Amino acid sequence: MSSAASSVPVDASASAPGLPGSPAPVAGEPGPAASALVRAIRGQRTDRLPVWFMRQAGRSLPEYRDLRVGTRMLDACLTPDLAAEITLQPVRRHGVDAGIFFSDIVVPLRLAGIAVEIEPGRGPVFADPVRTASDVAKIVAIDPDAVSVAAEPVREAVRIVTGELGATPLIGFAGAPFTLAAYLVEGGPSKEHLRARAMMHADPEAWHALAGWLARVSQGFLRAQTDAGASAVQLFDSWAGSLSVADYRAFVAPHSRAALAGVDAPRIHFGVGTAHLLADMRLDGTTDAVGVDWRTPLDEAVTVLGADVTVQGNIDPALLQAPWHVIETHVRDVIARGRAARAHILNLGHGVPPETDPDVLTRIVALAREADA
């Protein structure tokens, strides 16, 4: 990495109220619901531009790599004190305006008893792909409420985190039904998700049964987090960009809408490569904010989304490797374009790459603090 952030202070905890070592809020003082992040999701602009980063907890942090030695990913996600500490690490280091709960989108499937492992360098891999109607029947026979029952380690981790964060909000998250279905049907990561897309048309009844079950699983996972204290949620539809508008509307949007509809918290919806789906990503008003990836300028996204929805994003993750003057120019442009929306949450257009210098993220947070929200 270049010397882009050589003068960046690492300790940004003073800008993140409620961190360990800071006084916890007392009765009568503002809590997470009054934070800039939560207010922005709800459409209120404040004098503070809220900023957090997708995948801010994880491989870009040396303290994370040290902590994970000898522990498999899904085991780390389901060990409450470990998951809590990993969630808190970037909030301490960067001074971001929210924690994002450290987990993985396949965790609720593991909680449902489905055999899945995360292979380093590849991603989630399922022992038994779901390819036929009989495969779907076996999956949907599992009670989705079993996820909530088995999610006590998740609730405990959330309680630990929110107790430490104080007035800083925690964002809970889950994978969207299509992205989870794509993994299940393909058996692992895929570029075009051909089998999943084929199932929609070859056996729509099986598809809707599977996607409907996954919507209940995702909803239960989100509710486990909000019941334990998460102040907002984000639904990740990582692979939705592979879909046509017609397929998204017919086979995906109703299930994503169902996943979010039962969650009583401010809601963010995010997908990758979804410029052609932006209007539909609003899910008929079910979501309060829409994450926009780096491909679409925010002011252009607002013309599609409308003025009554918050936008989140959309710094290009690739530019985190550039010299600071390039990053700064880009971030300032993103902030300027975000002013077209009713409110803006500064974030990346996707997750933090593992090779990112953490000090660059800290410096972006400092830049956001200087910006006119």
- By annotation, the residues acting in catalysis are 55, 59, 68, 104, 183
**Residue indicated by tokens 């029952």:** 149
Give the residue among 368, 363, 360, 348 at the shortest CA–CA distance from 322: 360
Q: Which residue has the tokens 């449902």?
A: 112
- Rounded CA-CA distance 116/74 in Å is 9
> What's the rounded Cα separation, in Å, for the pair 348 and 353?
10
Say whether 334 sits in a helix, a strand or coil.
helix
Q: What angle do CA 38, 41, 43 make, to 5 degrees?
A: 110
Q: Mark 180-218 as b/e (b = at least 16 C-beta within 10 Å).
A: bbbbbbbbbebeebebbbebbeebeebbbbbbbbbbbbb
Residue 63, helix vs strand vs coil = helix
Q: Cα–Cα distances in Å, from 134 out to 25, 90, 130, 210?
A: 53, 44, 9, 11
Please work out, in degrees rounded to the nearest 5, the angle formed at the alpha carbon of residue 341 by the alpha carbons of 99 and 306: 115
In three-state secondary structure terms, 23 is coil
Beta bridge partners of 228: none
Q: Is 172 exposed, middle or buried (0-12, 13-18, 19+ CB in 10 A)?
A: buried
The dihedral of CA 24, 28, 29, 35: what is its sign? positive
Alpha helices in the chain (DSSP H): 36-41, 62-68, 73-77, 80-94, 107-111, 133-140, 145-150, 152-165, 177-186, 194-202, 204-227, 245-247, 253-261, 278-281, 298-305, 324-338, 358-370
**Helices (H) then strands (E): counts for the chain:** 17, 9
Q: Output phi, psi for 67, to 5 deg.
A: -70, -30
